[in-house]
Structure 1
């Protein structure tokens, strides 16, 4: 009996345990099924679900804390919250990127407007405060917002550059970021446009890209002038060219190219065209000049002068002149000249019937040759002194009462033309005027041709041979030789060129200094300079001299590698000579290890070795 009871109890225990195990398994499976269904419905399928008896463990990586909380809450609606075990991780928050700082600055007659996002600035140093002096009582609309994030590289330099640009540009819009400054502005004239573009390009900070859109109104051209020459070999050139539209310019340049070989032709577009048929008249006259075999063609408004070559036959001259005159549009009238052979003496000597004015590069003007009488000499002298300066004029002319009646007008016109040159000469003869020289103005030939065409009337047989020299162009603000060396040494004073110890290898940080020097050196490629290398007094004197030479050579090579023409730059090592500080201290020795740039005068250049050719490799 007792055994049966024990067996019954054991059977009941087994059945209870088995039933409990089956029930727990069913509960686990059912819980997992219900929870997974709920998570899928809520689009949280990234969550993993594991069950352990009555416990429901949630795993996986939640995108953020709010999503993790929503998952726990959702699961709590289908199972008892006390049964939930939260094993979920939260995805690390990504670092919030700093915003892009930028400013839009707009200036016009009504005031200044500012809009954008900038780093915090100290009180009183804001952009609006800095621009207060240029507003001149007009309103400054400040819509700037600030964000407390690190200031990006080049931001301060770009902003300072833009503020200075806004001071100079009364009608402009400037967009500023740390990497780029975009300037849209209106200038008063084409010359002002060139000056502004050159000045901005020179002052833009290193590492900042400059985008310019400077517009200029079309100039009023008066008289509306075109001066075209064609020699016997088919070489053509413009001394002056005017057009009223882009289409007119294209047609005129095409007509010029059909007459002969012409290099880099250009034509100014402006207001003041005397007739809608200007372009047609130019095309007809150019075709006639080619048919004649060469010569010169001058348009001054609706008046045309065609001067043939002195080798042209009378028959050809008469035929071409008749055909051109018949084909010209109404309004235009032509005067044609078949000149005698012109011989220019250019000295104003006794035998030559001519007046000669010369202007040296230093500005000294000499007037020689013939004038009609003493009163004309006084007029010419007064005009020259007013034009070139009293102390710069030397007058050595003689009277000749047989000169043509319009001689004085021709002389004064030639002197006015000479005033457009930095140096050159003007020769006046009875039927011919010649202007030759160098100018820093791109439009000097146009200006001179327009002056002569306006002053000389129908007797317009003249020649203009003017060379443009970019180094003389004042609108480009090209530095003088002294300024070149001074600016380079200012850079070196702020950040010296450093080399690896006992080596001529330039350090990486010093490369940025050489980048800045190269920008200036490219504007000073004609300036004769010397790169001087110096060391401290430690070590043998011979070794220091050799090391300083290698370092000077390395700087020259680095500039050459940055596309600087170094033909006018020499490199010389001075070793431990000429110290600028005490070699007994570490600070003094550091100061003495240096690179200096010096301007080579004629005397110093004669004592300096000839610069190496561009293709040679400097010493290592």
Structure 2
């Protein structure tokens, strides 16, 4: 329509020129006719060609439809000075709708439709080929901008794998299949830039979702589960072959596109092989980016990272591999026995048995990870230091709690253990349960003695004194004991007390000694015949200063004929005539009787209070033993005996004779009291007349002060 309006305006202009030309010279008329005709031709759609001969106009070319044909002839008719118009125009058919169709398939692109001009044909030929473009007829009826719209449509079609483009007047329709949403989006973006007045409709499917190739594998140490999008023709199971992963499960899909780079399978295989080195983890591959994370042993971590180092440089590989841990908190149980600590539990990598100076038990588990905040390490070291202060014990420790139980040697060692626990990290309140081998209190022991049954110990012994030592000090067989043995070195007088008691124990029927650092108390009941007063004094002198001694004569006497073994002497005894007398263990005869009496006096001296005839506290043992020997010898052999009293040379002879006689008489009376027949005994005081040693020395004088027994088959004469 705009072309026809232009031609009408042109015709009016030419008419005006004719009026003007009538006033000019005729020679110039032909030129003006030619110019007017050329102007009309130039204004046509297809640029028709005009020629002027004389003043006749000849026009040839393509008229863009009947309307343009009529308008051109009208305009040429109006050229001033023309004589005739010769019409050689080819009138193009008006195509409605004006259309072009392009179809892309497996064999290429086919085209069907019309073009609005030769110029348009040439433009299209540059992209679809001259041959194909030449097969498209020129027609009239194209909207303004139609060629540009077609070019946009073809650009959009180029983004599709298969498709159908239809351009009809000012509307484009594009359908087909794009490889991915990316290409579909590009096609739609091109069609969004159509010339003004044009519209487009698209229906584009995609062969692939457009997401990059990917593989996501989670591995829990037992099985691997895969998801993702693999290249066309590649299965996850195939990629996992040789990786060492256990059965690969999951629903990894396959893309409809192939991996054009050829790198992707190799990337996936190396990634899966690296994942197999972990205890657990995850592998993510997207395009040419790889991310591996998880937990591994130190050896597995090295192997996994070595595999990733084999990836091509074009691959962006990131690995975050931490040392494997089962998630259980660090914990340690330790037992101290016989100086050795045996430990079990889960310990950080740096806390080896060597580092802790312990023996690893069967359930020792060395973690691969470290104690990052050092909390457990500090607790374990503090706990072990406390445990080492004990004699034996058990330690349970975590990063949050500590329990220590055991036996400390003394409170001092217990305090050392408590002090070691001061190094515990904040927030840990230790639970400590301790016994003591020695509770730190002063010793306080008790000895209970019975001549018939022996002795027992109770209480607490001083450091260094054992029940066995008590037995040896007292000269007794094994002493049963419930006493604890003290370990703290204290100023102890117990051994001195026991040594003193050992001197006089045979004189007691029962005795109880309470011995402590502060006091010694001895209470006892003596055997019959013991001089209680003298024994009390002698025992008091033997004991440490300040000891309390209470001795009484036993009133609980057995029936005659009762026998026992005296615990203090080891001798078998029989209760006769109110006394405990040793049983005769020999065959009486004239030869054996003197030997037995001499043996008794050699083992048990008969001693007296200085300057008197009073038997001292220890003489009862000798008197009892002599009574048994003499009774047997007198009764069975018919012997008689003389008891001789002897003194040292100190004092006058007369005084010594008197003293020795009194002493011999005292022994005779004691023997008679024990059942020895009086008629078979005589007593003679010899004074210092029969010395057996040098009276110039204390030792000699002590030897000379003695009692002797002389045996005879009949009573001795007065001579």
TM-score bracket relative to the smaller structure: under 0.3
Structure showing greater relative contact order (alpha-carbon pairs closer than 8 Å, 6 or more residues apart): 1
Greater share of helix: 1
Q: Could you say which structure has the larger radius of gyration?
A: 2
Greater share of strand: 2
